[in-house]
């Protein structure tokens, strides 16, 4: 049964995971795109909480110190379907995207250590907007189309180790890479050729983060958990090319004369990001926790980012509340008592400031609020799970010439467990 499920999901993600945009937000235009949630389906179903949580048969992308708790070799993958309804003060549009969310594997090393490696999206760009200008007779005199695609991915390797009883530390290395393409196509009435500006950026960087976790039993039925993760200061390098040329429009675009072809570069400076979390719970029964993240403002430098006159960055912060409940982890009489039920809520100040007027004096913060829930369905009699998650929320606002996005996200993840390096026993 497990093999059949693996084949079906692998075929599914192979078809849709790499053939569609993995973002549908107009705000992904800025910088290197929207920062993706580096969380598993299990964590996202709890609002994204989990920096203090460690489990022996689930991976934790939020804190490398959680690797120290792994007791089983764990394979995990997921797909995500994004659905968003975007509106401004005049109109409303719908969009959707489906993509491979992550692919990772973790395993224990001895009794006190563990390691995880994998691939997941780091940031994403995906938008297509049209701005029309009208004459005195309300006819379109000029049309401009803004399009963007691409993003960055992250290959990571993390290690966790229990320094002493109840206290673990971890370190993770990340290699970030990708390509982003932004374009602006302008066409005026009664003008034979349109004008197109295109910018292609190649992104690469190496980053580090470290974490810790502390767990203490208050009594036989209650555990206290505390943890933290620190994304160290880093610089993301972007090298690219800018083009400006005329095009003949028909069923396809036909480039004509090129008036600009230059190389440019830029740097995205990201200061230290800190995430702290605490929670109460009982192993394999329930957990309730809170995470708080904060970071000083990002900085864009270089010619490649000089066109962002309508954007600035402020301080970032995020608070998450969430948890899970399992009626009876080892029940043999009822399947639904072994199901994990999850829920959570988040509020995020993204740090992105947008001035739609372009005056440079009317910046508005872009906030994100979401509610999530989900279930972990046991597979056969093993610890493996099929995890299903849902999220509804709102990002941005329609005031000050901005756009508001109401979203509904569906996530499907597979977590498979096995026991490696079994000690040979002779009876």
pLDDT of the residue at 79: 92
Cα–Cα nearest to 395, from 383, 385, 409, 384: 409
Residue 50 has, within 13 A of its CA and on its CB side, a CA count of 27
Over residues 9-18, mean pLDDT: 42
| CATH code reported for the domain at 2-418 | 2.40.160.60
Over residues 352-359, mean pLDDT: 72
- Residue 92 vs residue 262, higher pLDDT: 262
Cα–Cα nearest to 249, from 196, 182, 184: 196
Cα–Cα nearest to 144, from 157, 160, 131: 131
3 state SS of 401:
helix
Is the Cβ–Cβ distance between 289 and 266 less than 8 Å? no
The pLDDT > 70 percentage for the chain reads 86
pLDDT(297) > 70: yes
pLDDT of the residue at 121: 86
Q: Which regions of 220-310 does DSSP assign to beta strands (E)?
A: 222-231, 234-249, 253-270, 273-282, 286-295, 299-301
- List CB contacts of 126: < 8 A, sequence separation 6 or more: 21, 22, 23, 24, 25, 28, 33, 97, 148, 149, 151
Name the maximum alpha-carbon separation found in the chain. Answer: 93
β-bridge partners, 340 = 376
The rounded distance, in Å, linking the Cα atoms of 386 and 76 is: 10
- List CB contacts of 298: < 8 A, sequence separation 6 or more: 31, 268, 269, 270, 271, 313, 316, 351
Measured at the CA of 38, the angle between CA 34 and CA 41, to 5 degrees, comes to 115
- Residue 170 vs residue 406, higher pLDDT: 170
User: What are the C-alpha distances in Å from 290 to residues 59, 147, 184, 322?
Assistant: 19, 38, 42, 7
- List CB contacts of 90: < 8 A, sequence separation 6 or more: none
Using pLDDT thresholds of 50, 70 and 90, give the confidence band for residue 167.
very high
User: What are the C-alpha distances in Å from 337 to residues 58, 287, 330, 375?
Assistant: 19, 16, 8, 12
Over residues 170-184, mean pLDDT: 91
Q: Residue 388 class from Cβ within 10 Å (0-12 exposed, 13-18 middle, 19+ buried)?
A: middle
pLDDT tens column, 389-398 = 999 999 888 7
pLDDT tens column, 395-425 = 888 777 777 888 999 999 999 887 655 454 4
């Amino acid at each position: 049964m497990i093999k059949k499920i693996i084949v079906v999901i692998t075929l599914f993600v192979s078809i849709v995971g790499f053939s569609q945009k993995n973002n549908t937000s107009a705000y992904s235009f800025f910088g290197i795109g929207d920062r993706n949630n580096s969380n598993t389906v299990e964590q996202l179903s709890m609002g994204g909480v989990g920096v203090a949580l460690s489990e022996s048969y689930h991976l934790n992308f939020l804190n490398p110190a959680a690797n120290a708790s792994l007791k089983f070799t764990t394979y995990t993958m997921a797909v995500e379907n994004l659905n968003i309804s975007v509106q401004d003060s005049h109109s409303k549009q719908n969009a959707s995207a489906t993509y491979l969310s992550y692919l990772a594997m973790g395993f224990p090393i001895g009794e006190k250590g563990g390691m995880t490696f994998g691939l997941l999206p780091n940031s994403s760009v995906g938008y297509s907007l049209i701005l029309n200008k009208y004459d005195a007779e309300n006819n379109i005199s000029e049309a401009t189309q803004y399009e963007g695609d691409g993003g960055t991915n992250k290959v990571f390797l993390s290690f966790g180790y229990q320094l002493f009883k109840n206290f673990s530390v971890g370190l993770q290395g990340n290699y970030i890479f990708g390509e982003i393409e932004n374009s602006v196509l302008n066409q005026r009435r009664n003008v034979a050729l349109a004008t197109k500006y295109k910018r292609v950026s190649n992104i690469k960087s190496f980053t580090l983060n470290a974490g810790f976790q502390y767990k203490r039993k208050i009594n036989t039925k209650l555990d206290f958990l505390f943890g933290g993760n620190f994304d160290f200061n880093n610089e993301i390098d972007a090298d690219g090319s800018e083009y400006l040329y005329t095009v003949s429009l028909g069923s396809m675009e036909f480039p004509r004369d090129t008036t600009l072809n230059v190389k440019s570069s830029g740097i995205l400076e990201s200061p230290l990001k800190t995430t702290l979390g605490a929670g109460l719970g009982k192993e394999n029964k329930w957990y309730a926790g809170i995470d708080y993240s904060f970071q000083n403002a990002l900085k864009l430098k270089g010619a490649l980012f000089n066109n962002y006159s309508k954007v600035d960055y402020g301080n970032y912060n995020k608070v998450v509340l969430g948890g899970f409940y399992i009626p009876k982890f080892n029940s043999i009489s009822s399947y639904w008592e072994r199901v994990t039920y999850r829920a959570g809520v988040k509020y995020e100040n993204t740090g992105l400031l947008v001035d739609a007027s372009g005056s440079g004096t009317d910046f508005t913060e872009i906030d994100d609020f979401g509610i999530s829930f989900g279930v972990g369905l046991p597979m056969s009699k093993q610890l493996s799970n099929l995890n299903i998650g849902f999220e509804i929320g709102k990002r941005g606002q329609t005031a000050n010439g901005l756009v508001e996005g109401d979203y509904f996200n569906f996530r499907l993840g597979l977590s498979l467990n096995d026991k490696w390096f079994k000690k040979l026993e002779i009876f």
